[in-house]
């Protein structure tokens, strides 16, 4: 699994979006290339100007951590189409 972080702050947070109820949702990509493509879309659309990095995480650990902390997550498969939101929603907490 892969997630996005700020290049300069890899250990301080991960990219998440707000859902329709205002809750943060962590994106976990199954394929590194898809996470990289999403990062490029963020930059190309002007949604995010700081360099982002793709970080590999263990699937079981990432999901268990989300469950323990009651944090929503979405596993992005190669068959999913994910478009960045209109506004920057990088969460670093």
Nearest to 16 by CA among 89, 93, 75: 89
pLDDT in the model for residue 1: 95
CATH number of 2-82: 3.40.1350
pLDDT in the model for residue 57: 94
pLDDT in the model for residue 22: 87
* Section 69-73 average pLDDT: 92
Cα–Cα dist 83/93, whole Å: 23
Annotated domain spans of the chain: 2-82
Query: Of 2-6, 12-16, 25-29, 88-92, which one has max mean pLDDT?
Result: 25-29
Strands 24-29 and 90-91 come out as unpaired
Mean pLDDT (the chain, rounded): 84
3-state secondary structure (DSSP) of residue 15: strand
């Amino acid at each position: 699994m892969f997630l996005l972080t700020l290049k300069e702050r890899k250990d301080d947070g991960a990219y998440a979006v707000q859902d329709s109820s205002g809750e943060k949702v962590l994106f976990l990509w199954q394929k590194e290339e898809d996470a990289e493509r999403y990062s490029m879309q963020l930059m190309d659309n002007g949604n995010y100007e700081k360099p982002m990095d793709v970080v590999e995480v263990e699937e079981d650990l990432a999901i268990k951590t989300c469950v323990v902390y009651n944090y929503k997550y979405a596993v992005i498969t190669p068959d999913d189409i994910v478009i960045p939101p209109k506004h920057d929603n990088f969460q670093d907490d």
